[in-house]
Amino acid sequence: MDYEYEYDEMDGQDYQTLYQDETPVSAPVPAMEDETRARRATNRFRDSEASLRGNRAAVMGSETTGVVGTTMNNVIGMPGATNGISEVVVMEPRTFEEMPQAIQALRERKSVVLNLTIMDPDQAQRAVDFVAGGTYAIDGHQERIGESIFLFTPSCVQVSTSGNVIHEVPQPQPARPRTNAPTPAWAEPRTAQG
């Protein structure tokens, strides 16, 4: 059995005109927005291309080989993970401004030993809090290993202690005994004078 189909003969230009008539007209986009959109699209393409190269290298072992399979891996490897060499960075910062270096080392999968003995105690506490927050953000681990000395590790490093017991460092006693402050005048009971 033969079927006959009727087709309207249209060239490409007529088809586009027909399509434009059916769609609502939007406000014209300024040239500056067009430029920005084009730049964003280019950057997105460049970023995805770099990501594909990185994923291909992680899967194939070399950036120069192979074709990416049909499924894309959205996991981006961290630097230093492929060579199998672990590195420990020992830092003795003098100011809080040096703390981003510790975070950068953790992002590069390096362990960080932070010796804060030469910092002001308030700044040292601020520094520990800052690096601890960064360590938490990358699912890392932290351990106090001495008086004002801390170990921060990325998630790829397992930290264990002898007997898996975390030892608390005893707080040193002040060198001179504290003297009690005199009782303030407002704390004494008042007697009526008269």
DSSP-assigned states of every residue in the chain = -----------HHHHHHHHHHHSPPPPPPPHHHHHHHHHHHHHHHHHHHHHHHHHHHHHHS-TTS----SSPP---PPTTSSS----EEEE--SSGGGHHHHHHHHHTT-EEEEE-TTS-HHHHHHHHHHHHHHHHHTT-EEEEEETTEEEEE-TT-----GGG-PPPPPPPPPSSPPPPPPPPGGGSPP----
pLDDT tens for the 194 residues of the chain, in order: 677 766 666 665 665 665 555 555 555 545 555 565 655 555 555 555 554 444 444 444 444 444 555 566 777 666 555 566 788 999 999 999 999 999 999 999 999 999 999 999 999 999 999 999 999 999 999 999 999 999 999 988 888 887 654 434 344 455 555 556 666 666 555 556 55
Taking the whole predicted model, whether its pTM rises above 0.85 is answered as no
pLDDT digits (tens, 9 = 90+) for 110-150: 999 999 999 999 999 999 999 999 999 999 999 999 999 99
Q: Identify the pLDDT of residue 60.
A: 43
CA-based nearest residue to 91, from 81, 79, 101, 80: 101
Contact 146, 138 (CB under 8 A): no
